[in-house]
């Protein structure tokens, strides 16, 4: 596989193109030129070689003649990937991609891509061979992604393309996604079957309906605590000797950002900053989340921009601590916390604020 850092830089450039296209690309053709062709190039394919990248690919389906798919990518002279594009103004959640679905059954491709220049959806035939799955096994947002997603995207590079390993990963991703969807639902509102299953492990009596209702909030709280502790453990590793070189560099960068201020930023404020970064990593690249200390509070911004506030830490009092959260109108509301780790309780609000700056 090509150096992942070089690939990450190419995706970062592609992200900038996608953001620009969101403002200026009004048609499907403009989206193809501004984002899709550079994306194919970023994956290592020669867009000027018709034997490798075929635009307007024709694959007659039954009585449907002359319909065209936007691009067909060939590897070893065999069609490996079909690509259908939509204008960047169109949400893929509502887009029709019946053409891609029909062609998948008659072409030799095992992979299909649907994109609007921002979202990139990857399909295969995991459920039924030679029939494109109705749901993508992997979705990549060019304007909001993390390092793990970049590693997954790197699998599709020409230099490391291996269909068997991609399909195996696709199957794993599908099951992981399905499991994550199920667990996410249980986190917010555990259903009776889930509560009954856990209840059998912790309750000796008969699981009546009233007992299940008593156990439900306790199990929900336990799940919250497990997730909070898991993230806490990961942060502790970052502070400890077991940190990887990449983690050590990330920690050093965070500390360097804090040291740029003449004001003494406390260890608690430093830790709270890293907590917000950990929460925000699902929404924005962590380097966009910045800190600026002041005498009475410590501020967290996106892009170090006063117009993009995320939250404030009020840790100067010896007896009480507060976190200030901002709504869509940038109106601040303070909440009492016992310790910086309690910031995880407001993860949803912080993610929502960060999403407004993506």
Q: Where is pLDDT greater, at 126 or 338?
A: 338
pLDDT beyond 90 at 48: yes
CATH number, span 244-355? 3.90.930
Calculate the CA 92 to chain-centre distance: 16
Model pLDDT, residue 64: 57
CA distance 312 to 9: 32
- The arithmetic mean of pLDDT across residues 286-308, rounded, is 89
Of the candidates 278, 304, 280, 281, the one whose C-alpha atom is nearest the C-alpha of residue 293 is: 304
Q: Which DSSP helix (H) or strand (E) runs through 29?
A: helix 28-31
Sign of the torsion angle spanned by Cα atoms 91, 67, 127, 42? negative
Least confident of 190-194, 229-233, 303-307: 229-233
* Residue-wise pLDDT tens digits, 89-121: 888 877 777 778 877 766 678 889 999 999 999
Model pLDDT, residue 1: 44
- The arithmetic mean of pLDDT across residues 21-33, rounded, is 88
**pLDDT band, very low/low/confident/very high, at 135 (cuts 50, 70, 90):** confident
**pLDDT band, very low/low/confident/very high, at 289 (cuts 50, 70, 90):** very high
Model pLDDT, residue 50: 92
Model pLDDT, residue 104: 78
CA distance 30 to 3: 30
SS3 112: strand
In order of 28, 151, 283, 291, the CA distances from 146 in angstroms are 27, 9, 8, 20
CA distance 293 to 307: 16
Average pLDDT of the chain is: 82
Q: Where is pLDDT greater, at 1 or 205?
A: 205
Least confident of 130-144, 202-216, 217-231, 320-334: 217-231
- The arithmetic mean of pLDDT across residues 276-283, rounded, is 87
- The arithmetic mean of pLDDT across residues 60-78, rounded, is 75
What percent of the chain is predicted at pLDDT more than 90?
A: 28
Model pLDDT, residue 78: 86
pLDDT beyond 50 at 233: yes
- The arithmetic mean of pLDDT across residues 173-186, rounded, is 77
pLDDT beyond 50 at 87: yes
- The arithmetic mean of pLDDT across residues 210-235, rounded, is 75
- The arithmetic mean of pLDDT across residues 49-53, rounded, is 92
- The arithmetic mean of pLDDT across residues 49-75, rounded, is 79
Contact 44, 127 (CB under 8 A): no
Of the candidates 110, 103, 98, 107, the one whose C-alpha atom is nearest the C-alpha of residue 137 is: 110
* Dihedral angle, C-alpha 190, 195, 198, 199, nearest 10 °: 150
What's 4-174's CATH class? Answer: alpha beta
Q: Where is pLDDT greater, at 94 or 323?
A: 323
Q: Where is pLDDT greater, at 293 or 257?
A: 293
**pLDDT band, very low/low/confident/very high, at 222 (cuts 50, 70, 90):** confident
pLDDT beyond 80 at 239: no
Q: Where is pLDDT greater, at 139 or 182?
A: 139
Q: Where is pLDDT greater, at 49 or 58?
A: 49
Least confident of 239-243, 246-250, 293-297: 239-243
Model pLDDT, residue 172: 75
pTM of the model: 0.52
Model pLDDT, residue 242: 45
- The arithmetic mean of pLDDT across residues 174-189, rounded, is 78
What percent of the chain is predicted at pLDDT more than 70?
A: 86
Model pLDDT, residue 37: 95
Contact 111, 81 (CB under 8 A): yes
SS3 275: helix
CA distance 24 to 319: 52
Model pLDDT, residue 241: 45
């Amino acid at each position: 596989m090509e150096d992942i850092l070089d690939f990450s830089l190419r995706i970062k450039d592609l992200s900038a193109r996608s953001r620009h296209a969101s403002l200026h690309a009004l048609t499907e053709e403009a989206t193809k030129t501004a984002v899709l062709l550079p994306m194919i190039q970023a994956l290592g394919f020669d867009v000027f070689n018709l034997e490798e990248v075929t635009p307007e690919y024709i694959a007659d389906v039954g009585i449907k003649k002359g319909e065209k798919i936007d691009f067909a990518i060939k590897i070893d002279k065999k069609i490996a990937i079909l690509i259908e594009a939509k204008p960047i103004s169109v949400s893929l959640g509502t887009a029709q991609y019946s053409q891609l679905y029909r062609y998948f059954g008659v072409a030799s491709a095992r992979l299909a891509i649907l994109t609007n220049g921002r979202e990139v959806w990857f399909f295969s035939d995991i459920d039924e061979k030679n029939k494109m799955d109705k749901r993508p096994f992997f979705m990549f947002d060019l304007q909001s992604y993390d390092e793990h997603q970049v590693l997954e995207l790197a699998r599709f590079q020409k230099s490391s393309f291996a269909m068997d390993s991609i399909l195996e990963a696709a199957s794993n991703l599908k099951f992981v996604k399905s499991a994550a969807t199920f667990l996410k639902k249980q986190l917010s509102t555990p259903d009776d079957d889930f509560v009954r299953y856990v209840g059998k492990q912790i309750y000796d009596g008969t699981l009546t309906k009233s007992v299940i209702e008593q156990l439900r909030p306790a199990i929900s709280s336990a799940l919250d605590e497990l997730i909070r502790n898991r993230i806490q453990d990961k942060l502790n590793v970052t502070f400890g000797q077991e940190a990887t070189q990449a983690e050590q560099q990330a920690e050093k960068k965070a500390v360097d950002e804090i040291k740029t201020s003449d004001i003494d930023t406390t260890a608690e404020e430093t830790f709270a900053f890293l907590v917000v970064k950990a929460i925000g990593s699902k929404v924005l690249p962590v380097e966009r989340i910045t800190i600026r200390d002041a005498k009475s509070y410590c501020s967290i911004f996106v892009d170090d921009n006063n117009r993009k506030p995320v939250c404030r830490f009020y840790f100067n009092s010896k007896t009480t601590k507060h976190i200030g959260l901002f709504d869509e109108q940038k109106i601040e509301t303070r909440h009492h916390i016992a310790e910086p780790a309690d910031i995880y309780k407001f993860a949803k609000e912080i993610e929502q604020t960060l999403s407004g700056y993506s």
